[in-house]
């Protein structure tokens, strides 16, 4: 698996280097295509990890809502990182930083139920 990922990355890199000499505007498309191909390659692994986490959560009697929130937050972080990398590759650092800020705000907002639940547990444990 890792050999395929490295292969896609290196082939994309060579194509990008060659394209930048003649058609630099197409280099970003190759970068996007390579990124999507790599993401598609690891999707099977990702679904296995999610299944394992769901199984462990059900065995440990963890609220499935919290697991869903954590998985969504992780997905947002990965997608945002991918988008930020693409923007930086295209030379758009300003847009990349806006994506980072936006994704962090969304992650904080999504984590509020977990944080409030933890605070409630802590308050129940502490003596009054």
Q: Do 41 and 92 form a contact (C-beta atoms < 8 A)?
A: no
pTM for this one?
A: 0.77
Residue 60 sits at φ, ψ, to 5 deg, of -90, 5
Contact of 30 with 38, CB cutoff 8 Å: no
**How far is it, in rounded angstroms, from Cα 12 to Cα 20?**
12
What is the reported pLDDT for 61?
A: 81
Q: What pLDDT does 128 receive?
A: 66
- Give CA separation, 73 vs 67, 68, 105, 106, in Å: 10, 9, 11, 8
Tally of CB atoms within 10 A around 33 = 13
Task: Write the pLDDT tens digit of every residue in 75-100.
Answer: 999 999 999 998 998 889 999 999 99
């Amino acid at each position: 698996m890792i050999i395929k990922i490295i292969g896609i990355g290196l082939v994309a890199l060579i194509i990008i280097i060659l394209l930048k000499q003649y058609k630099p505007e197409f280099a970003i498309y190759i970068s996007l295509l390579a990124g999507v191909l790599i993401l598609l390659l690891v999707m099977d692994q990702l679904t296995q990890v999610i299944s394992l986490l769901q199984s462990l959560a059900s065995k440990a009697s963890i609220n499935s809502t919290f697991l869903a929130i954590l998985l969504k937050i992780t997905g947002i972080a990965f997608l945002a990182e991918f988008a930020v990398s693409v923007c930086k590759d295209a030379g758009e650092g300003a847009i990349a930083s806006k994506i980072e800020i936006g994704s962090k705000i969304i992650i904080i907002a999504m984590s509020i139920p977990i944080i409030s639940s933890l605070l409630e547990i802590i308050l129940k444990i502490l003596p009054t």
